[in-house]
Amino acid sequence: MGDLDRATTVPDAEFIDSLAAVSAAEWNRVAGTDYPFLRHEFLLGLEQTACTTAETGWQPCHLLLRQKGTLVAILPLYLKGHSYGEYVFDWSWAEAWQRQGLAYYPKLVSAIPFTPATGPRLCCAPGLSREQGWDYALAAIRQFAGQRGLSSWHLLFPEEAVSQQLLQRGLPQRMTTQFHWFNDNYSCFDDFLATFASRKRKNLRRERARIHQQGLTLKLLRGVEIQPRHWLQFHHFYQMTYAKRSGHGGYLTREFFLETAPALGEQVIMVIAEQAGRGVAAALYFRSADTLYGRYWGCIEEFDCLHFEACYYQGIEYCIAEGLKRFDPGAQGEHKIQRGFQPVLTFSNHWIADPQLAAAVADFTRREQPHIEAYTAEAASLLPFRQDS
């Protein structure tokens, strides 16, 4: 049990069905505010704008640990009625449960809804070690799952050290590959391009030139510079793009963009593309002290290379100007490799209630891992950088 047997007081575990049950000051004191997606304002905002509800299959069930009434640890937690919006695909597991005559849903998921961004999950106040925190949290989750008859608990996109720690505790680990940009103390975009092989550098410059050739201009807005009219316009772009891609209007509501995103202040950045003074597309970013997160994109008209410019190159320029170390533009996208985004491993861990199915999941993850690692290595070999850079 690690440090658990040395603790003087075992915290009380509480599962809450709304973040309104805890104040922003209390939650943020433990979670911090640097990682934008774990802020009380963001997670409660998802609830209050009807993005995470029982009806959408994302029922809040957050875990609080209190010691003598004081909040000492928090873990975002949801009862999930499906696997949409998670970006760690487990549909085959659900089918395996069904073949056994068992129900995979509902399940418990610790994740940031619709956000495949690595970051903190279990947060502990000073005085409670991470090891102790996980001792208490895992015990509470297992008891809660047993009482509710839940199939499993899934931790999505934790930091690697946390994932390794849970793997050592017997929770199988899955890997996926994303593509991130890293700032090697570049002074400007051309400084970054200088690391490219000649032909790759010319291709990227040609893409950027296409923006001006089509009469497009881009402007970057921060925090309070983003007015309600910009948010309304962005929501329209977002809906149009989701409708074309997947036949529905997206996971996020109009109210999310008008109320929740603006509440994060200077951690929100919007890039708007215009042609002849008319907005035609936009990209939305969030930031922490050292990382930029590219999150949402929308357009009402297709333009050559505009997605690359708004979602990637503008983000790289912002990181260089602000001294940010990393740019996480979202899940998937092999087209990012030739634009200087490097393959990185991301992680998840899984606790399965049924012993037989737990063994099957552990075997699946062991067999899957070398394929993911080989894919990541192959992707790295396709990066556009000069051999001597």
Query: Per-residue pLDDT tens for 105-155?
Result: 999 999 999 999 999 999 999 999 999 999 999 999 999 999 999 999 999
The confidence band for 389, taking pLDDT boundaries of 50, 70 and 90, is low
The confidence band for 1, taking pLDDT boundaries of 50, 70 and 90, is very low
Mean pLDDT of 202-229: 98
Per-residue pLDDT, 114? 96
In degrees and rounded to multiples of 5, residue 302 shows phi and psi of: -85, 135
Mean pLDDT of 277-300: 97
Going from N- to C-terminal start, the domains of the chain cover 2-178+344-380, 184-324
The confidence band for 249, taking pLDDT boundaries of 50, 70 and 90, is confident
The confidence band for 7, taking pLDDT boundaries of 50, 70 and 90, is very low
- The answer to whether domain 2-178+344-380 and domain 184-324 are alike in fold is yes
Instruction: Give the DSSP letter string of 257-318.
Output: IIIIGGGGGGGEEEEEEEETTEEEEEEEEEE-SSEEEEEEEEESS--TTHHHIIIIIHHHHH
Class of domain 184-324: alpha beta
Name the one residue in this structure whose structure tokens are 């200088």.
Answer: 194
Residue 83 CA to residue 88 CA, distance in Å, equals: 8
Query: Per-residue pLDDT tens for 123-133?
Result: 999 999 999 99
pLDDT more than 70, % of the chain: 98
Per-residue pLDDT, 8? 57
Residue 260 in contact with residue 294, Cβ under 8 Å?
no
**Residue 5 confidence (pLDDT) above 70:** no
**Residue 320 confidence (pLDDT) above 60:** yes
CATH number of 2-178+344-380: 3.40.630.30
**Residue 335 confidence (pLDDT) above 90:** yes
What average pLDDT does the chain have? 95
Handedness of CA 262, 266, 272, 277 (dihedral sign): positive
Per-residue pLDDT, 130? 95
92 three-state secondary structure: helix
